[in-house]
């Protein structure tokens, strides 16, 4: 028996990357999956693959920038499967060509990062919580980022709002724990999704590898396995936490890579 047998799970950003891997993994563990994405053709393909593998899933078009669209997604899940047990708030991103140092950020870049990464998760929580209460509890998992934990030279808006996701996660956990609702977050390091593959050069990716103590970059499946754990009863006494899934890039001193190279040369 799967770890999510007969659970109903909504996964946003399910057309590619982390969302795709998570939707498939949840379905393989018995969940009825509501796969949602603004890329409706992409998410329909994911649902077809889940069904071909023997799983149960439906596709939903969602625009995470709009509250009404998020609310409709959750309503469709409830009407289709009669309940909701799990919400994986995974949609996120930034205007990478404009999101740089604080002094260079314009209003449009700030607003887009806030609306897509933080406000959308807030709306997801707002509209799913009444259904989880009705169901005597459930699990919400939010995608944060190591950018929300560590300072950097770039992606200032993205990192700032991802820090907000971590705080929002604690607030939801605190306010609704007594109603059986758990809320946790995952903070990925650099994960080899289609978006990162397209944006980062091989040289930049290798620089990330140098700072990962596990000596590789992450895969969407690495995050999916963590989300599965947080969605399942195996984590029933865990709430308000942010799990860093970063290959160890966030645990060491900034001189780690340089000293490793010095050691290997002697």
**Catalytic positions:** 158
Q: Tell me the two tokens of residue 53.
A: 């593998």
CA distance 33 to 85: 10
Rg (CA), the chain: 18
SS3 assignment, position 89: strand
Q: What whole-number distance in Å separates Cα of residue 107 and Cα of residue 112?
A: 8
Question: What single string gives the DSSP state of each residue in 142-202?
Answer: EE--GGGTS--SS-HHHHHHHHHHHHHHHHHHHHHGGGTEEEEEEEE-SB--HHHHHHS-H
In terms of DSSP H, where are the helices of the chain? 17-28, 40-52, 67-81, 107-113, 120-134, 156-176, 194-199, 202-211, 220-231, 256-264
Q: What interhelical angle do 156-176 and 120-134 show, nearest 10? A: 20
Neighbours of 107 (CB within 10 A): 7
């Amino acid at each position: 028996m799967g770890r999510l047998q007969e659970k109903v799970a909504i996964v946003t950003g399910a057309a590619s990357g982390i969302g795709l891997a998570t939707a498939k993994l949840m379905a393989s563990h018995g969940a009825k999956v509501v796969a949602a994405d603004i890329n409706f053709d992409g998410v329909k393909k994911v649902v077809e693959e889940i069904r071909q593998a023997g799983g149960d899933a439906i596709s939903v078009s969602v625009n995470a920038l709009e509250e009404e669209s998020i609310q409709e997604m959750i309503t469709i899940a409830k009407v289709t499967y009669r309940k909701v047990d799990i919400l994986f708030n995974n949609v996120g991103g930034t205007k990478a060509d404009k999101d740089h140092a604080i002094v260079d950020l314009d209003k449009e870049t700030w607003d887009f990062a806030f609306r897509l990464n933080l406000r959308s998760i807030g709306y997801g929580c707002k509209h799913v919580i009444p259904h989880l209460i009705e169901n005597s509890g459930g699990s919400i998992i939010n995608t944060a980022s190591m950018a929300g934990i560590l300072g950097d030279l770039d992606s200032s808006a993205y990192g700032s709002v991802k820090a907000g996701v971590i705080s929002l996660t604690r607030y939801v956990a605190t306010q609704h724990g007594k109603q059986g609702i758990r809320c946790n977050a995952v903070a990925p390091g650099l994960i080899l999704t289609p978006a990162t593959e397209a944006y980062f050069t091989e040289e930049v990716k290798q620089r990330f590898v140098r700072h990962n103590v596990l000596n590789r970059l992450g895969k969407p499946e690495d995050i999916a396995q963590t989300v599965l754990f947080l969605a399942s009863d195996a984590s029933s006494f865990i709430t308000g936490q942010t799990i860093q899934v970063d290959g160890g890039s966030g645990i060491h001193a900034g001189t780690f890579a340089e000293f490793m190279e010095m050691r290997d040369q002697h």
